[in-house]
Amino acid sequence: MASRTRCDQVPYEVYKENKEAYSFPTAKVAGPRPEVASNIIYRVPVSHPAGEVDVQVYVPTSEAISSGGLASSEGRLPALINFHGGGFVIGDLNSDKPLVRQLCQGAGCVVVNADYRTAPEFPHPTPVLDSWDVLKWVFAKADELNIDASRIAHGTIPPFPPLKLQILIVPLVDVRYIPVEGSCKEGPYESYVSNEFAPMLPLSRLVWFYNYWLGTGPDRIEKAEDFRASPLLAKSHENLAPSSIRAAEVDPLVSEAKAYHEKLLVAGTQSKIKIYKGQGHTFPQWDGLNPGSKEFVQDCINDLKEAFKL
């Protein structure tokens, strides 16, 4: 596949004018997009600042529901709420389309895919607060969406009992040590150094993301130390939903994923971590060709079935 200029190698304004030209052609390596029973887009109100975001609700087919065996006696289904990646700068409802369709059909659960607002137009903390509003919306609309509110999982950090599971996919959990420019010269995370030039997510790409998301001004440190940006810094990690951390070996973020796993265990929160050998940061989207990515998708399906079982 021919090389191309990445989004982080040009100013955001240039990227925004022609996003496709600076984006990896994920569709060429992505896995199947199975048919679902429905995938309706809702406009959901958000608060910080006031506005609306798109939320796409995927419902599995009757065959998938029967095969999954997760429907309650009233016919209610468990739900996964998905928040796409992209450094809080890029990404949309299409980013995880193959994955969310496979999880919906593979586990036989509802998947709620959220298109939170992103930087630089909406820097921290808007993306996480949008996600929080979506999470609350799902609970409020559970009856209307035929969701069993006692069986909801999510793919992000903020706690909202009674969540059954958090699947953290190549997560960032401590953003204090990414510099405004250059290499990482301090901090506890070895992978920032050993994986500085990792394919798909070199350190320079993290710098680009964080500079738009957190800014480069005098309040950068304060924003980075906010637990909503760095969940590792939360005052308590007790009583959170059980965590399944899915990390990539060739990724600057793998060291902090390990640190977060240990933090959860010390706090008494259930956590497991799997580091996929030889894989880079974006490998979850490559399951059309990559055996490790296919394994990841099946692992997530197994996670959901185990968390949602009656």
Instruction: Give the number of other Cβ atoms within 10 Å of residue 8's Cβ.
Output: 22
Burial of 42 (0-12, 13-18, 19+ CB in 10 A): middle
Domains of the chain: 7-308 (3.40.50.1820)
- Is the pTM higher than 0.75? The answer reads yes
Amino acid at position 14, single letter: V
For the chain, 310 residues long, give each residue's pLDDT as a single digit of tens.
456 788 999 999 999 999 999 998 888 999 999 999 999 999 999 999 999 999 999 999 999 999 999 999 999 999 999 999 999 999 999 999 999 999 999 999 999 999 999 999 999 999 999 999 999 999 999 999 999 999 999 865 454 557 999 999 999 999 999 999 999 989 999 999 999 999 999 999 999 999 999 999 999 999 999 999 999 999 999 999 999 999 999 999 999 999 999 999 999 999 999 999 999 999 999 999 999 999 999 999 999 999 999 9
Q: φ and ψ at 149, to 5 degrees? A: -65, -15
Q: Give the contacts of 117 (CB within 8 A, at least 6 positions apart).
A: 46, 51, 53, 126, 127, 130
Q: Give the contacts of 99 (CB within 8 A, at least 6 positions apart).
A: 31, 82, 284, 285, 287, 297, 300
